[in-house]
Copies of this chain bind each other. A is one copy, B any other.
Amino acid sequence: MKVSASKENHLKAIFHLQQEQGIVTTNALAAALKTRPASVTDMLKKLKDQKLLIYERYKGFKLNAEGKKAAIQVIRKHRLWEFFLVRKLQFGWEEVHEIAEELEHISSRKLVDRLDSFLGFPDTDPHGDPIPDGQGRFHTQRQKCLCELPLNKEVQVSGIASQTTEMLEVLQYNHIQLGTRLEVRKKFPFDDSLEVKVRNRPPVTISAQVAKNVLVKDDEPFAEKR
């Protein structure tokens, strides 16, 4: 049974939504996919027929084991392509999502596995999200946001939660990017802004809003594997 691009998009979105809530609702999915609730209902019937999810009308739905497996494969493809685009083709991390949204639907399994190998089996995509391996396993995200970090502990930036051009601008200005090593020196309770010391640079101050979107990890997220 074939899974079309649209079905793959649905599976992926359902998977992400059910990470947070256990059960997914029609409206939430429609919003996530920028489609209409009626369209979602239509698709749900098809996915149910293909035995990829558990669904009873008016009662919400969630992926079954089979559906989860399929969703993870799409996510794997998406993130591997993003990694490829940034690492090999010199794209910026803010411009790869859209392209990967197309590339993730190329069907050859062999292609994905070869790509994975070519890239050196990376485990984190350019946004800091984990890349599932060939069996669908991936390390659970142990990223924290900058705002919930203890003082004076050096960490490495491993992801950016929301990457708008404006956000990027601030980070660029403060010399913060993926892989940057830094530590939090001070917290200002008044506005929750932080003094951040980037290694080899003078300290800078960033707002709570920005801090909330900077994700960090203890160990290297982006080790070169050439």
Contacts and interface: CB of A to CB of B under 8 A. Distances in A.
How many protomers of this protein does the assembly include?
A: 2
Contact of A102 (B106, B110, B115, B118): B106
Given A89-B111, A99-B106, A102-B108, 14 more contacts: A85-B111, A88-B118, A89-B114, A89-B115, A89-B118, A90-B114, A91-B110, A91-B114, A98-B108, A99-B108, A99-B111, A102-B106, A102-B107, A103-B106
17 contacts: A85-B111, A88-B118, A89-B111, A89-B114, A89-B115, A89-B118, A90-B114, A91-B110, A91-B114, A98-B108, A99-B106, A99-B108, A99-B111, A102-B106, A102-B107, A102-B108, A103-B106
Contacts of A85: 111
A81 to B, nearest CB: 10
Tell me whether chain A's interface is mostly helix, strand or loop, or mixed: helix
Interface in A141-157: none
